[in-house]
Structure 1
Amino acid sequence: MDSLYIFHDNLIKQIDDAFFRFLIHTINWEQRMLAIKGPRGTGKTTLMLQYIRYHLKQPREKVLYVTADHYWFYTHNLVETADEFYKNGGRFLFIDEVHKYPNWSRELKNIYDGYPDLRVVFSSSSALDIYRGEADLSRRVISYDLPGLSFREFLNLEANLEISAIPWNDLISRPNELARDIVNDIQPLPFFKQYLRHGYFPYFKESIPEELPVRLNQTINTVMETDLAFIQGYSHGTAFKIKKLLGVLAESVPFKPNISALARKLDVSRETVYAWFVHLEKARMLNLLLSKGKGISTLQKPEKVYLENTNLAFAMKTHPDLGAIRETFLLNQLINAKQSVTLPSSGDFYVSDMYIEVGGKNKKASQVKTEAAFLVAADDIEIGFGTKVPLWLFGFLY
């Protein structure tokens, strides 16, 4: 296993502690087996390596990081790797991109059952349903989601700040007091415009601005052509049609889908279009918005379809609609903060008995003012007044 240890050591040496994603402090690392899921490029690998180097602090022989597409696994399987590691004193096994390993579910189950004092952490694409593999992992694994950077994380990273996340109840009860506290430290609006364009994925720090649209498109293509192929068994032809669907949506988000028209355009069944919506949502390419009061079903038509984050919109369209960007940002931050969001009959979003209308700095509350509880999320303002809240502040929920 020398090649695996050399690979592990080389990666650990390159990791620093300049910035930690929020999830590193949220995960219960004492679990016997846990999964870290998330879109490509959100920092899952870095998070695991940072935990090993700065938090776990175990002797070298007790810890091993591997990636499931390492050439070692051309001739070895996961179970025998875990067995040899364990017999040599190993107790903490980290497996990156497990979805690239053919029999991941069954072998992880065998490892869990056969080595009770071996802790296993694995990462995977957000599209992977770890509870529906060949073997039942539902009673064995705890899953955590790592979304892209919140605006708060981006601001902390860019401006070297340490501003804490704001709980939902605090944000809706005293939003402008909180906004004023932040504005006393920094002017958020210039950073907010940068974030909307290129700040969602941590790799923006490694790239010059001109390269970022290329990297974003590479991310999209890899998800479409590689990740979904690993997870859903898609062929090249299927991947092409799904990319075509995503392109159609990108031109007109927020999109009110006509499923029959999309099915004809793509030459597939209505059921296939529904399934692709679900797969793209799991892959964190889309956010689907259902009507308030309706249940969730795989074959239920979403009322509105959004790109998952604003960076995708700028990568796929030269001049995306500003109103759509604002709504996309707010929905993204709410969902990533684990809020349940639906489409109300009045306003743009309904969250925990609160109606939210989104717009520019002159946006009025006319569409929601008859509701018992409402907010106007207004762009291009530093501090609001009354029920008008700065849009950027919703980026502090996680």
Structure 2
Amino acid sequence: MEGLFEKSYQKLLRVPTEFKRYLADEIDWSSRLIGIKGARGAGKTTLMLQYAKLHLPQGKETLYTSLDSLYFTDHTLVDLADQFVMQGGKFLLLDEVHRYANWSQEIKNIYDDQPDLKIIFTGSSIMHINKAKGDLSRRAVMYELAGLSFREYLNFTQGTTLKAINFNDLMSTHTSIAMDMIATMRPYEHFDNYLKYGHYPYFLENIGLYPQKLAETISLAINIDLPAFHDISYKSIEKIRLLLHIIAESVPFKPNISKLSERIDLSRNNLVLYIKYLEDIRIIRGLYPDTKGIGLLQKPEKIYLHHPNLQYALANEQSNVGNMRESFFINQIGKLGPVTYTAEGDFSFKNYIFEIGGKNKTNKQIKHIENSFVAADEIEIGHNHKIPLWMFGFLY
């Protein structure tokens, strides 16, 4: 285990602590078993290591390891936990748990057999603990880390300390909030850059190579994360890739299931299932008429890429400003709860109807609907039922 400790110390030593994600303040860190899931590149590992560096003892009591380590080719996770506890270990941080075949069962056994050990683990956004081999749903407290909000992007790149805006406050007092904010900085100046490269924290490594890195991350999610949870063949993965290519070229995509099934040579059920898979790994987002009744094989009315950054990575030549605006809106507000399809307007959220557009967009089409609003791009300050689009990036 000495090698694992050495790597753990190096990881903790190098992790930056200046900028912390929104989820750091939402997690109940006192829980004995905490799971953090999310899309590849969202920052799960950094979040976990930051907590360990700032709040846990540095030494034999704390150990970080990734479950894709070669150590686990001839050691089990249970054996590691047993040895760790015998040597005085109290805090076990497990990264990439889905890369370990029997992760849920063994974590369940460790939780039950080592009552003094606290475990924090991370895994893919496709991870559903109540469907895993070892049912952790009654033991683990699960959280999902979303990509950077526009607010977090500004704090990350500009050194600001902007606070999140409560949704109800945004609806009722957006004009005064925007005026107060613009008195100290101009958020909209940075909005286009955020849409191009600001959603995943690793953009800072090399902005020029970010679209390529993002495309590679998508490939890893399809090639590695999906097979870790579903029994799918290489041929099926290739069909999922083709499906994503078709969607990326046409977003917002209105799926004609019959024609799409024929083009990809898939049954209807498998096609809808593969759409769900791409949603689970946070590459696309389906828009459904009623989220309460979503079945496994229900098709979405529309499909968007999960965030505008993905459009630049997958189909830059096809990107258009209208799609970017809608993709941004549904991504940011969708963090708060389900966004649904509506026959009038673009989106329904809670008891509100939203139209998305540019600075000249009016509420003419939806003004007869109570609680209807326009989320307008290209403006800094809104008035009455017209809210600046960028402000929806401050909801978390």
**Which of the five TM-score ranges fits, normalised by the shorter chain?**
over 0.9
* Secondary structure class of the residue paired with 1:317: helix
For the structure 1 residues 70 and 294, does the alpha-carbon distance in structure 2 shift closer, same or farther, using more than 3 Å as the test?
closer
Q: 1:42·1:201 contact (CA, 8 Å) conserved in 2?
A: yes
Specify the code of the residue in structure 1 equivalent to 2:116: D
Q: 1:348·1:358 contact (CA, 8 Å) conserved in 2?
A: yes
Specify the code of the residue in structure 2 equivalent to 1:334: I
CA drift of 1:190 comes to 2.3
CA drift of 1:142 comes to 1.1
For the structure 1 residues 306 and 30, does the alpha-carbon distance in structure 2 shift closer, same or farther, using more than 3 Å as the test?
same
Q: 2:194 corresponds to which residue?
A: 195
Note the alpha carbon deviations across 1:56-114, whole angstroms, 9 max, x for none: 2x141111101001111111000010000011111110100000001001101100110
Q: 2:7 corresponds to which residue?
A: 7
C-alpha RMSD over aligned residues: 1.1
Where do residues 210-225 of structure 1 align in structure 2 (5 Å cutoff)?
Answer: 210-225=208-223
* Secondary structure class of the residue paired with 2:60: helix
Q: 1:38 corresponds to which residue?
A: 38
CA drift of 1:318 comes to 2.0
After TM superposition, the runs of 4+ consecutive aligned structure 1 residues lying more than 6 A away are none
Q: 1:125 corresponds to which residue?
A: 124
CA drift of 1:292 comes to 4.4
For the structure 1 residues 157 and 47, does the alpha-carbon distance in structure 2 shift closer, same or farther, using more than 3 Å as the test?
same
Q: 2:38·2:44 contact (CA, 8 Å) conserved in 1?
A: yes
CA drift of 1:225 comes to 1.1
Q: 1:292·1:350 contact (CA, 8 Å) conserved in 2?
A: no
Alpha-carbon distance in structure 2 between the residues aligned to 1:5 and 1:307: 40
Alpha-carbon distance in structure 2 between the residues aligned to 1:190 and 1:224: 35
CA drift of 1:125 comes to 0.5
Q: 1:145 corresponds to which residue?
A: 144
For the structure 1 residues 7 and 293, does the alpha-carbon distance in structure 2 shift closer, same or farther, using more than 3 Å as the test?
closer
Alpha-carbon distance in structure 1 between the residues aligned to 2:63 and 2:223: 30
Please, which runs of 5 or more residues in structure 1 have no aligned partner?
Answer: none
Alpha-carbon distance in structure 2 between the residues aligned to 1:366 and 1:290: 24
Q: 2:61 corresponds to which residue?
A: 62
Specify the code of the residue in structure 2 equivalent to 1:25: D
Alpha-carbon distance in structure 2 between the residues aligned to 1:42 and 1:59: 25
1:21 equivalenced with 2:21 (yes/no): yes
Alpha-carbon distance in structure 2 between the residues aligned to 1:206 and 1:26: 27
CA drift of 1:339 comes to 2.1
Q: 2:97 corresponds to which residue?
A: 98
CA drift of 1:330 comes to 0.2
Alpha-carbon distance in structure 2 between the residues aligned to 1:223 and 1:176: 41
CA drift of 1:367 comes to 1.7
Alpha-carbon distance in structure 2 between the residues aligned to 1:125 and 1:294: 24
Note the alpha carbon deviations across 1:170-218, whole angstroms, 9 max, x for none: 11111121111221121122211000000000001111x3211111111
Q: 2:237 corresponds to which residue?
A: 239
Specify the code of the residue in structure 1 equivalent to 2:205: E
Q: 2:169 corresponds to which residue?
A: 170
Note the alpha carbon deviations across 1:347-371, whole angstroms, 9 max, x for none: 1111121111000000010121001
Alpha-carbon distance in structure 2 between the residues aligned to 1:43 and 1:372: 39
Alpha-carbon distance in structure 2 between the residues aligned to 1:116 and 1:335: 37
Alpha-carbon distance in structure 2 between the residues aligned to 1:23 and 1:229: 28
Q: 1:283 corresponds to which residue?
A: 281
Q: 1:395 corresponds to which residue?
A: 393
Alpha-carbon distance in structure 1 between the residues aligned to 2:341 and 2:176: 28
Alignment partner for residue 313 of structure 1, among 311, 321, 343?
311
Alpha-carbon distance in structure 1 between the residues aligned to 2:329 and 2:217: 22
- Larger mean CA deviation between 159-168 and 233-242 belongs to 233-242
CA drift of 1:293 comes to 7.6
Specify the code of the residue in structure 2 equivalent to 1:233: D
* Secondary structure class of the residue paired with 1:389: strand
Alpha-carbon distance in structure 1 between the residues aligned to 2:280 and 2:178: 32
Alpha-carbon distance in structure 2 between the residues aligned to 1:292 and 1:134: 30
Specify the code of the residue in structure 2 equivalent to 1:266: I
Q: 1:81 corresponds to which residue?
A: 80
Q: 1:383·1:390 contact (CA, 8 Å) conserved in 2?
A: yes
TM-score (norm 1): 0.97
Specify the code of the residue in structure 2 equivalent to 1:24: A
TM-score (norm 2): 0.98
Specify the code of the residue in structure 1 equivalent to 2:190: F
Alignment partner for residue 353 of structure 2, among 332, 352, 355?
355
- Larger mean CA deviation between 289-298 and 374-383 belongs to 289-298
Alpha-carbon distance in structure 2 between the residues aligned to 1:367 and 1:244: 36
CA drift of 1:165 comes to 0.6
